[in-house]
Structure 1
Amino acid sequence: MNHRQFEEPVTLLVGMGFPARIESVVEAYALLQDWPACSRNGAHAVALNACKAGIAGEIDPETVRATLVAFARRQDILVPDMVSLAPAALSGGASRTNNTV
């Protein structure tokens, strides 16, 4: 595994709401570099600086990933991890089934 790969990819909604799967520091950097100037904010600057530090090997990829996730949450473009949501959905469905007469 590349030392700049994320342990788990981050999926974001970009453009016209299309999902983009970001799997590495370099992919995160490219996304943030292409981000429209009018939509940049403090969270964008933090994430972009983290990417630069990650590329330089100054911080680990998971720290970069965390800043990307924080940026995505602020922009409301983070796609929830469906794997982590599945157990909650299944348990919710099971409890409704058990309550039926």
Structure 2
Amino acid sequence: MDRLQFFSPVRISHGQGQPVEDIEGVNEAMAFLRKWPRGRRGPVYQCALNCCAAALAGQMSAEEARKAFAGFARITRLLDDDMTLPIGSEKMDSVYSPRR
């Protein structure tokens, strides 16, 4: 496995009815971040960009960069709903719904 590959992809949702994009490694995450609109590049964007750059330089693991990129995707509301839960778990609304 490539050292810059994520163990599991970050799934980006571009909206309901749109195809989901799987970001599978640091290089793809960097390409995605470089396309991000300049006017929306805040501190969370900068953190994700810095972490991906550090992973490319061998100063950080791909998984640490993945966490930063996934955080950016979550905060910008691009993270696919299925990515918010650990693999094999139920949907959050069913987990936290009061039982009657």
Shorter-chain TM-score: which interval?
0.7 to 0.9
Which residue of 1 is the match for residue 12 of structure 2?
12
Task: Choose between structure 1 and 2: higher helix proportion.
Answer: 1
Distance 1:29 1:15 in 2: 21
Q: Which runs of 5+ in 1 are unaligned?
A: 93-101
Which residue of 2 is the match for residue 45 of structure 1?
46
Q: Which runs of 5+ in 2 are unaligned?
A: 95-100
Distance 2:13 2:35 in 1: 14
Please identify the structure whose Cα radius of gyration is greater.
Answer: 1
Which residue of 2 is the match for residue 99 of structure 1?
none
Name the count of aligned residue pairs.
91
Deviation at 1:81, TM superposition (A): 3.0
For residues 22-60 of structure 1, the C-alpha deviation after alignment (integer angstroms, 9 at most, x for no partner) is 000000000001101111111000000101001111100
Distance 1:23 1:81 in 2: 13
Distance 1:38 1:18 in 2: 25
Which residue of 2 is the match for residue 65 of structure 1?
66
- TM-score in terms of structure 1 length: 0.77
Q: Secondary structure of the residue that 2:90 maps to in structure 1?
A: helix
- TM-score in terms of structure 2 length: 0.78
Distance 2:44 2:24 in 1: 19
